[in-house]
Structure 1
Amino acid sequence: MRSTGYVLTLLFSIIFMVLSFAVQAKNDIQGVRVWPSPDSTRVVFDLSDKPDFSYFMLKNPLRLVVDFNNTNKAKSLPAIPVEHRLIKKLRYSKAKNQNATRMVFELTSSVKPVIFALAPTAPKKDRLVIDLYAKKTSLYSNEKNTSKKRDRLVDRDIIIAIDAGHGGEDPGSIGPSGTYEKNVTLPIAKRLARLIDKQQGMKARLTRTGDYYLKLHTRSNKAREKRADFFVSIHADAFSSPGPSGSSVWVLSLRRANSEIGKWLEDKEKHSQLLGGAAELIKDTANEKYLAKALLDMSMDHSMKTALQVADEVVSELKKVTKLHKKRPQSANFGVLKSPDIPSILVETGFISNPKEERLLKSGNHQEKLARAIFKSIKNYYKRNPPDDSLFARLKEPAEHVVKSGESLSVLANRYGISIAALKRANKLTKDTLFIGQVLTIPKA
């Protein structure tokens, strides 16, 4: 009897130990990373296994609560940057059971959370990604403004949107020595922006200014919000072997362009971006879709022609400062080039997978050369083909002006930035009197 009792006790002890081991948390939070941006934030949890999670929102105060089932806490949590706009604090709270982990996001404003798991991709393991989007700034936050006709500002700047590829959790391609593509594209983009901003009559707008992630459609939307005349996306190429090298320039393929036109036609909200005030007049009528289709076709045709001409210029300038991988512009289905109303190109500045080009792409001197080549190409195109209401249009030569009612020598001299004497000299005028319909030659400012 004593031996039987001993065996039973031992058996129960073993069963208890097995059950205790079974209920222990099998997953671990190995790290937490925060990627802030001006209107969204990405938080990434690195885990040892596939996450089992749930979440809910709380008010007064605003909080997002994420429960990790059967998961151990991370050793430490990252500090939240001072300039952060969406998350005030990241902390733990009491979980629903001893083997779970509860994470609380203290928020500064209402957000839309998008939460999803990512499977392991070397060198990263399992991850849980939490994207927080500020509700007050949707993807089309400035849609009403951008849908209106551009204000007829005299001598406006030509707006160039510059997109630094990748960012944040998305490093892009990785070079042999560990260089991230995102850390090459941003400095080149910033150098290009500085050159554009120094040029009278041009203004640069960066889609991202720091190390954070942007979705592809967000990048083109940001360009539209800034009323961009042109969009250039900066990238670095890569291949599975270190051999390939050289830069290339890409434009949107006709097949992708037609696909995007179809998507825009089905999205009624986007019609106003193309039709402006006319959208209200023809709203809910049988003609709206046909008019939108006609305008989309014309807009896409103009955008693709402009993009191809600029791409040709960029290729010509790049070959002066670096090796070319493709001697002519190429077409592809790049999502970042999909906007039908903004001429867009993508510049592959070199192969980061090539050791020699990786070193060049990290060089400030080489980055400056690449930026200057792209800048010169865009500037030269708009010098020849300036928008009518831009400063470039006024400075373009040769120029003629047909005198209208109420115009005088002083009015025209002020408008074109020249002296009255220069205007009279160019037209061999001996008097200050003008007549309606008179054709004047406008000298260069």
Structure 2
Amino acid sequence: MRKIAAILLMLVCWPLLAGQTVVNNLRIWAAPDHTRLVFDTSHPVNHKLFTLKKPDRLVIDINGARLTGPMPAVSDNPLIKQLRSAQRKDGTLRVVLDLDTQIHPKSFVLRPNSQYGHRLVVDLYGETARKPGDTVQKPVKQLDNNGMRDVIVAIDAGHGGEDPGAIGRRGTYEKQVVLAIARKLAGLIEKERGMKAVMIRDGDYYLGLRKRMDLARSHRADLFVSIHADSFRDPKARGSSVYTLSKRGASSEAARWLAESENSADLIGGVKLEDKDDVLASVLLDLSQTGTGQASHEVAGKVLGRLRRVGRTHKPTVQQAGFAVLRSPDVPSILVETAFISNPEEERKLLDPRHQQKVAGAVMDGLRGYFHDSPPPGTLLAQLKSRQHTIARGDTLGAIADRYNISLANLKSANGIAGDVIQVGQVLMIPGT
């Protein structure tokens, strides 16, 4: 009798449950300038947000939804004290965030992709945080009394937060291994005299592609390096690649910059476009992009050459594609696909800290070679470039160090030399005392 009653109750409630959206999970990611909440939902949702004061709270109402499972615990979040939820009589799921400060919320829904279903995303920006689209100019470190600055390299670890990137067969997330490689690369750059690293993403959180570009420009970066791990349906695909922006991608970006009013006041090669007519603005932007593209291709070639020493490369030459993250018109930009995470052998290597260090070292060698050949004006590297020595037959490192009155260790360090092997025609940078 009880079983029959239960079945009848299910039949009565089924129409209501069938039309109800299930919130399967809630994930929280804290970035430096905002906190993101992601609700995984069984269907697209209608929702609304409103804030309350004394105390500060954010209320999220999701129509016709119910939550399965408990609210996630919140710890060390700069904006949220705690989360709580309640099911209202009209079928609305109400989620309340108790806040530490007033916030600016922003929400949107996302359609399913290969990794996630329907999602509701809520971004929280604190009162003192930068709002979406804002950039802040950072002071550039001065090294000496002559006002020579560092070369700034922006390092972008791809994906992050709710975007794991490609996933290997062993469950390795691209976002994790590329962040590890990016941090190792940053460590090598910081040890290099005359160079400074800026981490675009330095934690497990998501940044939009254009936000990554904007951050690099706000730091006045001389180069933007995006680190990724490739994936392909064939697990035999392997090897590293280096990409620059395609001409088609550059052309579409030029049209976008000229069309959007907020970009007309940005500096393009040091020239403002806001007071120029359309034809002149287009010419100036094209010249800027041409120079940026040439520099990007040169540094990409240097990096690809060094990666060949670490392992197989997927293609013998620098590749071009329309990656949005490479489209800054005034910052040379490259994208490094370190390996195929879809290849089981390369996935294993990507998890190995020693291999990560080798990859970072290869990229560093390429950057060092490029900037020593083409240092930006006004940098310490440009000043040091005037002190070079081209190796002739019979030269030794010890003799060169004695000739310029520097230590052998400093000479090796300045040129990234580990042993004693040098080649005729090789150009050494002579560090200052």
- 1:303 equivalent in alignment to 2:317: no
Distance of 2:139 and 2:290 partners within structure 1: 20
Tell me, yes or no, if structure 1 residue 33 matches structure 2 residue 27.
yes
Aligned to 1:102: 94
Contact kept in structure 2, 1:147 and 1:272, CA below 8 Å: no
Superposition pairs for residues 24-423 of structure 1, below 5 Å?
Answer: 24=17, 26-47=20-41, 49-60=42-53, 61-82=55-76, 84-93=77-86, 95-97=87-89, 99-107=91-99, 108-119=101-112, 121=113, 124-134=116-126, 136-142=129-135, 145=137, 154-274=147-267, 279=272, 285=275, 287-398=276-387
CA spacing shift, 1:221–1:134, aligned 2, 3 Å: farther
Are the structure 2 counterparts of residues 293 and 359 from structure 1 closer, same or farther at C-alpha, using a change threshold of 3 Å?
A: same
Say which SS state the counterpart of residue 265 (structure 2) adopts: helix
SS at match of 1:175: coil
Q: Secondary structure at the match of 1:55?
A: strand
State the 1:43 CA deviation. Answer: 1.2
Q: CA deviation at 1:299?
A: 1.6
1:341 positional shift: 0.6
Of all paired residues, the percent bearing the same amino acid is 41
Name the Cα RMSD after superposition.
3.1
Aligned residue type for 2:78: R
Q: Offset at 1:33?
A: 0.9
Distance 2:161 2:239 in 1: 26
Residue 347 of structure 1 aligns to a residue whose secondary structure is strand
CA 1:100–1:392: 2 relative to 1, 3 Å: same
What does residue 411 of structure 1 align with? none
Q: How much does 1:293 deviate? A: 2.6
1: CA distance, partners of 2:271 / 2:304: 39
- Measure how far apart 1:86 and its partner are: 3.2
Which amino acid is the alignment partner of residue 66 of structure 1? Answer: I
Cα distance in 2 between the residues matched to 1:387 and 1:139:
31
Mapped to 2, the partners of 1:266 and 1:153 lie a distance apart of: 41
Question: For the residues of structure 2 that align with 1:153 and 1:209, how far apart are their CA atoms?
Answer: 32
1:274 touches 1:296 (CA, 8 Å); kept in 2? no
Distance 1:110 1:167 in 2: 23
In the alignment, is the contact (CA less than 8 A) between 2:133 and 2:211 conserved in 1? no
- CA deviations 1:116-150 (Å, max 9, x no partner) are 0433x45644432223345641344336x4799x9
Gap runs ≥5 in structure 2 = 1-6, 389-404, 407-429
TM-score by length of 2: 0.80
Deviation at 1:30, TM superposition (A): 2.3
Query: Take 1:20 and 1:224, find their aligned partners in 2: how far apart are those partners?
Result: 56
The AA in structure 2 aligned to 1:97 is K
Q: Distance in 1 between matches of 2:303 and 2:168?
A: 24
Relative to structure 1, the CA distance from residue 153 to residue 71 in structure 2 (aligned partners, 3 Å threshold; closer, same or farther) is farther
Larger radius of gyration: 1
TM superposition shift of 1:173: 0.7
The secondary structure found in structure 2 opposite 1:272 is coil
Q: Contact (CA 8 Å) 1:23, 1:99: kept in 2 or not? A: no
Partners of 2:139 and 2:184 lie apart in 1 by 31
Instruction: Note the C-alpha offset of 1:156.
Output: 0.4
Match of 2:419 in 1: none
Q: Which moves more between the two structures, 327-336 or 270-279?
A: 270-279
